[in-house]
Amino acid sequence: MQPKWPWRSVLITGASSGIGRALAEALAAPGVTLHLGGRDATRLAEVAAGCTARGATVATRQADVRDAAAMADWIGGAGPLELVIANAGIGAGTGRGYEQAADARAVFETNVTGVLNTVIPSVAAMAAQPAGPGGLRGRIAVVASVASFVATPGAPAYAAAKAAVQRWAEALDATERRRGIRLHSICPGYIRTPLTARNRFPMPLLMEPAEAARRSLAGLAAGRTRVVFPRRMYLLARLVGALPPGWRAALMAGFPGKD
């Protein structure tokens, strides 16, 4: 069985569930080496077993993306990497009436600092790799969200954190491509994962993780800096995000907050 996707050495954070797991399973094939990280060792082992059954060579690491030294050690020792996906993330919001201070800090530490701890050593590692076809040394994808484009009252820290990493990845791509490194933001809408299972509000165009993984990888393979889907959700987010702040707050005031 020939690999469907062009990458033969891939590192994924948050690979033990949700989109991370679906990405690992979509990439698993003979001749592919997967470096999979996650905090839940049991679930990570299950994902590794499934990917191994598909023919991939799998190395796992029980990794907390908030630990900068541990992440640098893992990425630096993984060997040549063609693709790194900074996927690990958590969610929280105003589901208990107000955004809790501890929740806001936790979201930024994982969704922003954790991405920094993944991307920065990945850039350093790829910069030291020999260039391949077209001068490309590697690709790094940051999993953001359609929420990047709306200041959502129901999930203030989550929306802000995803906006920060989405903009950072796209801005960094403009300069790092000079060194043969491409950066991409992946901005999905609602995906059926343990993270969204807690949501107490309608989730239009809810997508299965396998389809989200397929669209993400197709976008990366096409070289798109911003990979966003579903398109209708993106257009709606851009429209709502363009409203004056007072109008947007009034429009979204009745929506339940994210737990």
Residues annotated as catalytic (active site), given as ranges: 158
Extract the tokens encoding 162. Answer: 């995803």
Instruction: Please report, as a single letter, which amino acid is at residue 231.
Output: R
In angstroms, how far is the first alpha carbon of the chain from the final one?
A: 42
